[in-house]
């Protein structure tokens, strides 16, 4: 795997190191040893999948509070997403900063999301599927979010929002 640091400390793009031949290619998508060498969470306790039927759908921005903070490894396995993470660590020099990356089934790129980062995405193609490795068990009482369109965050979503849950539309604003 190829780990590329982002401008948000602790967040990485994870690209495949492909071994190609006439049949196609083979690549490792996760290795405990390689994640530990980067200082990243290497114990994932849950895997989840999200199917998103309609282009323009927004999910997020979600995170879990202590003591149930969760790191995530997010990969798009069908279609494409505009993936966004926001640093919510108050002591971080990039507090409330965000990055956006395009994760697609074609680029096979993953995004490592550290604990105390909000995560969300917008679907760029119909019938898009997102696969998550998650470092903590889901804890509904610790689960929360921030509004996807909070002016203080200044996140640009590339498409008009076509579908979003009531919950995601109703998260509080920072501003």
Residue 60 lies in a domain: yes
Do the Cβ atoms of 110 and 75 come closer than 8 Å?
yes
Residue 29 lies in a domain: no
Cβ–Cβ contacts within 10 Å for residue 62, how many?
18
Which tokens hold the place of 82?
A: 């505009």
CA distances from 129 to 24, 30, 61, 102 (A): 22, 19, 17, 13
Residue 20 lies in a domain: no
CA distance 29 to 111: 11
Active centre residues (catalytic): 62, 132
pLDDT (tens digit, 0 to 9) for every residue of the chain, 175 residues total?
999 999 999 999 999 999 999 999 999 999 999 999 999 999 999 999 999 999 999 999 999 999 999 999 999 999 999 999 999 999 999 999 999 999 999 999 999 999 999 999 999 999 999 999 999 999 999 999 999 999 999 999 999 999 999 999 999 998 6
Residue 145 lies in a domain: yes
Do the Cβ atoms of 134 and 48 come closer than 8 Å?
yes
End-to-end CA distance of the chain: 39
pLDDT for res 174: 82
Number of domains, the chain: 1
Residue 2 lies in a domain: no
Residue 48's contacts (CB-CB under 8 Å, 6 or more residues apart) are 131, 132, 134
Residue 38 lies in a domain: no
Residue 24 lies in a domain: no
Instruction: Supply the CATH number for residue 96's domain.
Output: 2.60.120.10
Alpha helix segments (H runs only) across the chain: 32-37, 166-169
pLDDT digits (tens, 9 = 90+) for 12-32: 999 999 999 999 999 999 999
- Element (DSSP H or E) covering residue 25: strand 24-26
Q: Which domain range does residue 142 map to?
A: 44-169
Residue 9 lies in a domain: no
């Amino acid at each position: 795997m190829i780990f590329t640091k982002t401008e948000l400390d602790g967040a990485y793009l994870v690209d495949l190191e492909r071994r190609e031949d006439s049949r196609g290619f083979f690549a490792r998508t996760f290795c405990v040893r390689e994640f530990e060498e980067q200082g990243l969470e290497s114990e994932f306790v849950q895997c989840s999948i999200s199917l998103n039927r309609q282009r323009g759908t927004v999910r997020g921005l979600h995170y879990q509070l202590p003591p149930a903070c969760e790191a995530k490894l997010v990969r798009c396995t069908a279609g494409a997403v505009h993936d966004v993470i926001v640093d919510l660590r108050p002591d971080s020099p990039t507090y409330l900063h965000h990055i956006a990356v395009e994760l697609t089934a074609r680029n096979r790129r993953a995004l490592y999301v550290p604990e105390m980062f909000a995560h969300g995405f917008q679907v760029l193609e119909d019938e898009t599927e997102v696969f998550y490795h998650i470092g903590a068990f889901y804890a509904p009482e610790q689960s929360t979010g921030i509004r996807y369109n909070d002016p203080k965050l200044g996140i640009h979503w590339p498409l008009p929002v076509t579908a979003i849950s009531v919950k995601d539309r109703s998260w509080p604003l920072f501003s």
